[in-house]
Structure 1
C-alpha cells in the first residue's frame, strides 16, 4: 500500500510539471508602422529655432540626455516634436512628431501642425 501511495504521489508531482503547448501560428505583436512624414515636411529634419519661428514659443521644453522634446499646444491639439542630434554631430533636428487632441483623442499630425501655424505665433 505504501508503494502505491509513493507511485501515485510521484505521478501527481510529475503531472504538475507538464506544460501547455503553444498553438502553431500563435499571433505575435503587430509590426511597427513606418513613420510617414507626409504633410510634415516643414517640421521633420528642422531644428528648434525653425520650429519656434513656425509655431512660436513652445509650451514645454524637455531635455533628457541628448534628446529634446518641444511641445506646442493650441485650442485644437497638442504637438510633440522630438529632436535628436544627427549622426556625426550637429544641431538636434526633429526626427519624430506626435499629436493628439486636447482631450487625448487621436488627430492627424499634419492637421495639428497646420492648426498650430494659425495660432498667431504661439499665443
Structure 2
C-alpha cells in the first residue's frame, strides 16, 4: 500500500507541474497614427478647382461623387489628391483635404508634394 500512496502523491505532483499554462504575451500596441499639419498647404487648402488648375495645370484625373470632387495631380516625384466640397450652405466647392504619396505608393510629406507640383512644367 505504501507504494500505491507514493505513486499517487508523485502523480499529483507531476500533474500539477504539467498543468501550469504559460502566460500569454499582450498584443503589441497599434501603430501611431500619423499627424497631419497644414503648414505648407496654404496654397491649396480652401482653393477652388480653377485655382488648382492655375497652380498645377490640368488635373491628371477627376472624380465627382455627390457634392464632392477629387482632383488628382501628378509629377515625376509624387501624386496629390485634392478633395473639394462646398462650404456649408452651398457655394463653390473648395479644397478641404489633400493626400499625397510618392509614385510607388510610399508616403511623402504633403507640402513637399505641393512644392514639387508647382515646379512641374506645362502642368506635368
**TM-score grouping bracket, smaller chain normalisation:** 0.7 to 0.9
Structure 2: how far apart are the matches of 1:75 and 1:116? 9
Length-normalised TM-score, structure 1: 0.72
Structure 1: how far apart are the matches of 2:38 and 2:56? 18
- Name the residue aligned to 2:98: 97
User: Map of 1:34-45 to 2, 5 A cutoff?
Assistant: 35-45=36-46
Number of residue pairs matched by the alignment: 98
Runs of 4+ aligned residues of structure 1 deviating over 4 Å after TM superposition are 26-35
- Name the residue aligned to 1:77: 78
CA, structure 1 residues 104+122, in 2 after alignment: closer, same or farther (shift >3 Å)? same
Contact 1:68/1:84, CA 8 A, preserved across alignment: yes
TM-fit CA distance, 1:56: 0.2
Gaps of 5+ in 2: 1-26
Q: Does 1:114 align with 2:115?
A: yes
- Name the residue aligned to 2:55: 54
Length-normalised TM-score, structure 2: 0.72
Describe the SS at the equivalent of 1:95: strand
Structure 2: how far apart are the matches of 1:102 and 1:30? 24
Gaps of 5+ in 1: 1-25
